[in-house]
Amino acid sequence: MRPRRRVAVVGAGVAGLTAARRLTRSFEVAVFDKGRGVGGRLATRRIGDATFDHGAQFITTHTPDFAATVAGWERAGVAQPWFRGRIGPDGIPDPDGHARFRGVDTMNAIAKHLAEGLDVRVATRVMALQPSDATWRVRFDDGTELVADAVVVTAPVPQALALLTAGAVRLSAPDGEALHAIRYEPCLAVMAALRGPSGLTAPGAVAPDDGPIDWMADNHLKGVSLVPAITIHATADFSRASWASSDEIVAAELLRSAALGSDEIDDLVQVQRWRFARPSAIHPDRCLVADGLPPLVFAGDGFGGAKVEGAARSGAAAAGALESLLGRPDPPAGIGASVNDR
């Protein structure tokens, strides 16, 4: 038997992990992420006794294939319904809308579930992607490199383009134009532990219709934190205007707008800066296969649809495109089903 072809996946968010799960059936796959853990914006942080979902707040399903995926997560015990419908400034959801799912126990638990059994290497920064004949050299910040037959890049497009620039890669004019057209909005997130109840009512979230706050959730009411703990997401406009401000100024402004009462706010407050929080201009297709280069596929929530569903469907599409490029051999004996196929 010839050796299994090697695929490098850059980014261990939903798109990268979804692509890797499918590709692992037929290829040798390694996933690389510069972060300390998997998940990307399926992010959770613990501060003292408080726990915060500070990236993606929930998951919705609009297509049968992704609904089946989430149903698999429910059966695995890592996802469950949180509330149904769009929630407004009064914190009361419309019960006739789509179900909003949350992670059990946290949103990051879903990413950890997706990563089970995969070769995922976190705290590993890819510095450049360089074509070499019909393969890719994946170069890391410690000076080492890996040779791969194909690469899937799921990092935000500006970061993906920086990797190609570092490797002196010349994209075709149409590919370069398409990738540069993808745009993202930033989001400043504040996490604050509270001394007492937040004042929110079940299910524990509000979406103000004015001011600097786009979303606020009580992680205790959500079922994530043992103690009251608030996550605040700023609007894109506020985030752009305040990006260069100190964490102290950002936190003070958003907590003041939240009107929680200074007596309720603990000293445990942190700020997360999501530079590429959500795409504002999306590529029309689920992924983009680079022309005129060794097999290279771009994917993520900037392709075909935003949010967790868009990222997952993009990752699946990237895997399918790569299987078509490389050919899909029968997996060797002993390769089991992916987590979502059990």
Question: What per-residue confidence (pLDDT) applies to 338?
Answer: 35
Question: Residue 66: inside a domain, yes or no?
Answer: no
Kindly report, residue by residue over 41-52, the tens digit of the pLDDT: 999 999 999 999
Question: What per-residue confidence (pLDDT) applies to 263?
Answer: 60
Query: How many CA within 13 A on the CB side of residue 286?
Result: 16
Question: Residue 68: inside a domain, yes or no?
Answer: no
Question: What per-residue confidence (pLDDT) applies to 329?
Answer: 55
> How many Å apart are CA 71 and CA 229, to the nearest integer?
28
Question: Residue 161: inside a domain, yes or no?
Answer: yes
Same domain (yes/no): 238, 336: no
Same domain (yes/no): 220, 329: no
- In this structure, the dihedral spanned by the alpha carbons of residues 45, 50, 56 and 60, taken in order and rounded to 10 degrees, is 140
| Mean pLDDT within 230-245 | 98
Asked if 21 and 339 count as a contact pair (C-beta separation under 8 A), the reply is yes
Domain boundary (253, 280, 307) is at 280
pLDDT band at 3 (very low <50, low <70, confident <90, very high): confident
Question: What per-residue confidence (pLDDT) applies to 153?
Answer: 98
Same domain (yes/no): 271, 295: no
Domain total of the chain:
2
Same domain (yes/no): 207, 176: no
Kindly report, residue by residue over 278-300, the tens digit of the pLDDT: 999 999 999 999 999 999 999 99
Phi, psi of 9 (to 5 degrees): -110, 125
> What is the pLDDT of the chain when averaged over all its residues?
93
For the whole model, what pTM was predicted?
A: 0.93
- 206: CATH: 3.90.660.10
- Whole-number percent of the chain with pLDDT over 90: 87
Domain that holds residue 250: 44-60+80-105+184-280
Specify which residues 140 forms β-bridges with.
126
25 dihedral zone (left: phi>0; alpha: psi -120 to 50; beta): alpha
Kindly report, residue by residue over 163-193, the tens digit of the pLDDT: 999 999 999 999 999 999 999 999 999 999 9
Is the pLDDT higher at 140 or at 329? 140
